[in-house]
Amino acid sequence: MTVRRVLASPYALVIAIALIVVVLPWFLPSNFYVRIATLVYINALAVLGLNLLMGFAGQVSLGHAAFFGLGAYAVAVGPTHLGIPSWIALIGGVLLSALIAFVVGRPILRLKGYYLAVATLGMGLLTAMMIANEVAWTGGPNGMPVPRLVVFDWRVTGSQMWYWVSGASLVLGAWVAVNLIESPTGRAFRAIHDSETAARVLGIDIARYKLAAFVISAMYGTLAGAYVALFDGFVTPDTSSFIRSIEFVVMAVLGGLGSILGSIVGAAILIILPQLLTVFHDYEHIVLGLIMIVFMIFLPAGLVPSLAALIRRRSA
């Protein structure tokens, strides 16, 4: 009985993620795989944030790479041009991003559905354009190098160390996400998703909670962007590109909207699959596209929720 109760707890998932992060390195044969795992964790962090917005609060964003890019350039521009220590630039970037999401979110979150999608798309394109055009600050289309992350005397460098930093951050991020979902705030998010009218009548200030979801998801995305830049040691405007925004959405939808585990699985699929498909050479993208179509046809709710429903039906 107690085992079942522990498994039913939403925190069981957080513990499972932590276990995977801790155990996985023993099964990774080389640094190349450690690098891939690190990229999965970092992207999963961004997707987790986007999923809070899209999967739980039901608000679409096609411009989330704007926040990802903002994080990446915060840790590039801050230390290089302003002489700020990179860990302060990282925190500053996340806070700045929250502020921008707050200011931009207020007007655009009044929009719904397609209109919100287009407005967030515009936000993403605008950010990408600014990054590409401010050559003096960002190096323009060529990008710029990112100094290593140094926290006091601790130099965060190498795939191994970044594996642990990103893994720990993902576990922490999943824990915070579960906390939120299991709180009045999370219930407000989900209520807005299902019926804005009912949510309003029950006293939920929907503008406030949509904005909260937007700001929180922006902070996740910014942190992930900063990590990727610090990990790679270099940034290009690609970090904030339209394609990047779409990738995040695809990861969330493929893994499962409204599923914490789905965010991670979605990120893993979209990062690992292209690596596996390199055997197809020129046809790589065609095969990737086909796989995605097949996934969505047979697992329409996303991988994790669809499989969970299947298992429940089998065992019932």
Partner 1 sequence: MSILAVEGLSIAFGGVTALDEVGFAVEPGDIFAVIGPNGAGKTTLFNIVSGLYVARQGRVTLSGEDVTGLAPHQLARRGLSRTFQNLQVFFRMTAVENVMVGRHLHENRNILAHFFTLPSVLAQNRATRRQAEDLLAMVGLADTADRPAAALPYGALKRLEIARALATEPKVLLLDEPAAGCNPVETEEIDAVIRKISAAGVAVVLVEHDMRLVMKISRRIHVLNYGRTLTEGDAATVRADPAVIAAYLGTKAGAEAERAHG
- Cα–Cα distances (Å) from 97 to 84, 166, 270, 303, in that order, read 17, 20, 25, 30
Of 260, 256, 290, give the one whose Cα is nearest residue 273. 290
Token pair recorded at residue 4: 């079942």
Min separation Cβ 52 and partner 1, Å? 12
Does residue 198 touch partner 1 according to CB under 8 A? yes
Q: Could you say which residues in the range 245-284 bind partner 1, by CB under 8 A?
A: 258
CB of 120 to partner 1, least distance (A): 22
Alpha helices in 182-259 (DSSP H): 184-194, 196-201, 206-232, 242-255
Nearer to partner 1 by C-beta: 89 or 212? 212
One residue of 97, 120, 185, 222 binding partner 1 per CB under 8 A: 185
Residue number, 1 or 243, with CB nearest to partner 1:
1
CB of 257 to partner 1, least distance (A): 10
- 180 sits near partner 1 (criterion: CB under 8 A): yes
Euclidean distance between the first and final Cα of the chain, in Å?
A: 18
Please choose, out of 118-126, 153-161, 198-206, 246-254, the segment that lies near partner 1 by the rule CB under 8 A.
198-206
Q: Is 184 in the site for partner 1 (CB under 8 A)?
A: yes
Tokens in use for 296?
A: 């969505």
Shortest distance (Å) from residue 183 CB to partner 1: 4
Both structure tokens of 148: 């290593």
CB nearer partner 1, residue 141 or residue 184 = 184
Q: Is 7 in the site for partner 1 (CB under 8 A)?
A: no
Summary count for the chain: helices (H), strands (E) = 15, 4
From the list 138-146, 185-193, 239-247, 280-288, the region that binds partner 1 by CB under 8 A is 185-193
Closest contact distance (angstroms) between CB of 189 and partner 1 is 10
Closest of 70, 125, 76 to residue 101, by C-alpha: 70
- Considering the rule CB under 8 A, would residue 197 count as an interface residue with partner 1? yes
Of residues 186, 237, 255, 302, which one binds partner 1 by CB under 8 A? Answer: 186
x/- map, 203-232, partner 1, by CB under 8 A: xxxx-----x--------------------
The two tokens of residue 216 are 């929180």
Of 79 and 256, nearer to partner 1 (C-beta) is 256
Minimum distance of partner 1 from residue 153's CB (angstroms):
28
Look at residues 188, 189, 190 and name the one whose alpha carbon lies nearest to residue 202.
Answer: 188
Alpha-carbon distances of 285 from 225, 263, 270, 280, rounded to whole Å: 25, 22, 12, 9
Nearest Cα neighbor of 14 from 213, 260, 191, 189 is: 260
Q: Which is nearer to partner 1, 22 or 202 (CB)?
A: 202
d(CA 262, CA 56) in angstroms, rounded, equals 13
188 contacts partner 1 (rule: CB under 8 A) = yes
Contact 107/99 with Cβ under 8 angstroms? no
Establish if 300 lies at the interface with partner 1 (CB under 8 A): no
**Strand-pair partners of 145:** 234
Question: Among residues 179, 246, 277, 291, which is the contact residue for partner 1, using CB under 8 A?
Answer: 179
DSSP 8-state symbol, 24: G
Side chain identity, residue 80: T
- Contact positions toward partner 1, by CB under 8 A? 176, 179-180, 182-188, 190-191, 193-195, 197-206, 212, 258
